[in-house]
Structure 1
Amino acid sequence: MRPTGALVLITMCGLALGLAGCSSEQPSPIPSADEGTTVDLYTHCGIRYVQVGVDWFERVGGPLVRDGNPPAGWSNPSQPGRVTVADDLATFTDDAGHKESFKKLAQPPSSATNCA
């Protein structure tokens, strides 16, 4: 290899390492117990249930729905957020400012309650 080729190769490697080290991407922090569990709340047929681990919860006050879809301001088919559980109550929050409470069910909802 000629000295110029080696110099170009070293320069290219240095540039690649420099760019990789200067990336604005940072690893996502691991949420603490206080921040809750990350979830994608199913919203396609409105907001009705949330599952946390093996436990199922139903929205306090009944389904939150508008014409078979989630209300304005909610993503469809799901809304990313966090759920915290205290006793038999789960609370969903997200970066859009939504906050919904869900009560624990004795058993999972039947598939008959799902919409198409």
Structure 2
Amino acid sequence: MTERAGTIIFALTLAAGVLTGCSQADEGADAARATPSVRTIPINLYTHCGIGEAHIGSTYYEAETPLTDGNGNPPEGWDNPFQHGTMTLKTETEAVFTDDAGHEVKFRARPGASGFKRICS
């Protein structure tokens, strides 16, 4: 084999390895986008008119089971106008609010929403 042929074979082998590595990295990136990692963020949940909606980043969420005292206020045991806690973003469409008082509220994303369903006064 000539030196030039050896150089060409080495270059092709190296290129094949680089291309395979890129393909595997791209597959991993696709998997990461398809299954986002769970993350928890601090939040002051607006509770003034009850617990019904939340806005995180560019996503609007609504409570699976809205909570009020029946008169448009948060239920007993909730702070007003905000309840400090954390929101755990479990998937792209599911979030869970929890706080030190033991409250837990599940929220679902409203795809395509650009605002709250109801503005509290």
TM normalised by structure 1 equals 0.64
RMSD: 1.8
Q: 1:37 aligns with which of 41, 49, 67?
A: 41
Q: 1:108 aligns with which of 96, 100, 114?
A: 114
Structure 2 residue runs of 5 or longer lacking an equivalent are 1-36
Contact 2:39 2:89 in 1 (8 A): no
What is the aligned-residue identity percentage?
Answer: 39
C-alpha displacement at 1:110, in angstroms?
Answer: 4.3
Contact 2:53 2:62 in 1 (8 A): yes
Amino acid at match of 2:110: L
C-alpha displacement at 1:115, in angstroms?
Answer: 2.1
Instruction: Tell me what 2:96 maps to.
Output: 91
> Match of 2:79, SS?
coil
CA deviations over 1:72-108 (Å, ceiling 9, x no partner): 0000000000001122110000011000000001113
Instruction: Tell me what 2:19 maps to.
Output: none
1:22-101 pair list within 5 angstroms: 36-61=40-65, 63-66=66-69, 67-87=71-91, 88-101=93-106
Distance 1:53-1:42 versus aligned 2 partners, 3 A rule: same
Runs of 4+ in 1 over 2 A off after TM superposition: 108-111
Select the structure of larger CA radius of gyration.
2
More helix per residue: 2
More strand per residue: 2
C-alpha displacement at 1:34, in angstroms?
Answer: 6.4
Contact 1:35 1:82 in 2 (8 A): no
Amino acid at match of 1:109: G
Measure, in 2, the Cα distance between the counterparts of 1:56 and 1:86. 15
Contact 2:38 2:89 in 1 (8 A): no
Measure, in 2, the Cα distance between the counterparts of 1:108 and 1:47. 19
